[in-house]
Amino acid sequence: MIQNKLILEELKQFPLQAVIWGILAGNNKGQVFELSDNSVLILEAGNNDPFVFIAGPITSRSIEETIAYVSHASYPTIYCHPKYHHLFLEKNWDFLLRAEMYLEPHFVPQPIQNGLVIEPIESIELFKKCYWFKETSARYGSSEKFLKVGKGYALRQGEKILSEAYADYIGSGCIEIGIVTHPDHRSQGFGAQVASYLVGKCLEQNYIPGWSCQINNRASMRVATKVGFSISHYYMQMAPTVGNTLGNPLVQWIKENPDWTI
């Protein structure tokens, strides 16, 4: 789909590798657009707050094209090389800080509490009972596509589903993990149990499990650390303004320091 080798090499340096290659491999729903000046836009589809990636040389015209492509979404988050961030700031977009985490060596799966069962989400009957049925189906393009190529597990007590863990994206040997616990059963350790089980299954199949979230998502960070993940690094995405104030001196400073990174 993308033939430019320089673009492909640049994409390998981006965060969220499972998201990028999951879209390019066709596991997850997405689109690829050629922008002006030979840059490439990868847009996650089926999500109102999609991940977006731009690789290659970026200009003001490229940014205008990108904003037009994501205008349907309520809160797109865009990753590109930091030296181009000032172009988004000039369009009144803001920084969004995320943490990317890695799994510590010597991972040990958590024991399952008595009376609880973890079941693979492999049937449409079970999938339809899940809290993230609609969101996961949209991410893969359909429920049938998820059941064919996706991975997910439900932690249940009797017929009641307490928490779910998914391989939200699968690409290039990497998996991005997503979890959700029913609102009535949160803060009881259920998310960590089912996520830990999914991580064990990923390792058995030689996938590299990854975890990332916005830095204000403390619940996700707490579960990740319980499972055995540690913060590797932070990175910036660009997102529509949410009221943050970014003065002109900051915009000018970034222009004058194009190799600045965080």
CATH number at residue 153: 3.40.630.30
Pick the more confident residue, 249 or 225: 225
261 occurs within a structural domain: no
The answer on 90 and 73 residing in a single domain is: yes
User: How many Å separate Cα 94 from the centre of its chain?
Assistant: 19
Question: Is residue 168 located within the same domain as residue 242?
Answer: no
* Measured CA angle at 201 (ends 232, 48), to 5 deg: 60
147 within some domain:
yes
Q: Are 240 and 163 in a shared domain?
A: no
Q: 76: closest CA among 97, 53, 59, 101?
A: 53
pLDDT tens readout for residues 34-84: 998 899 999 999 888 999 999 999 999 999 999 999 999 999 999 999 999
State whether 249 and 161 are in the same domain: no
Q: Is residue 165 part of a domain?
A: yes
Are residues 180 and 128 both part of a single domain? yes
Quick one: 153 and 249 in the same domain?
Answer: no
Question: What is the three-class DSSP state of 30?
Answer: strand
Domain holding 23, by residue range, is 5-98+235-256
**Is the pTM higher than 0.75?**
yes
Site of tokens 């069962």:
117
> What is the band of 130 on the pLDDT scale with cuts at 50, 70, 90?
very high
What's the rounded Cα separation, in Å, for the pair 139 and 47? 7
Is the Cβ–Cβ distance between 66 and 35 less than 8 Å?
yes
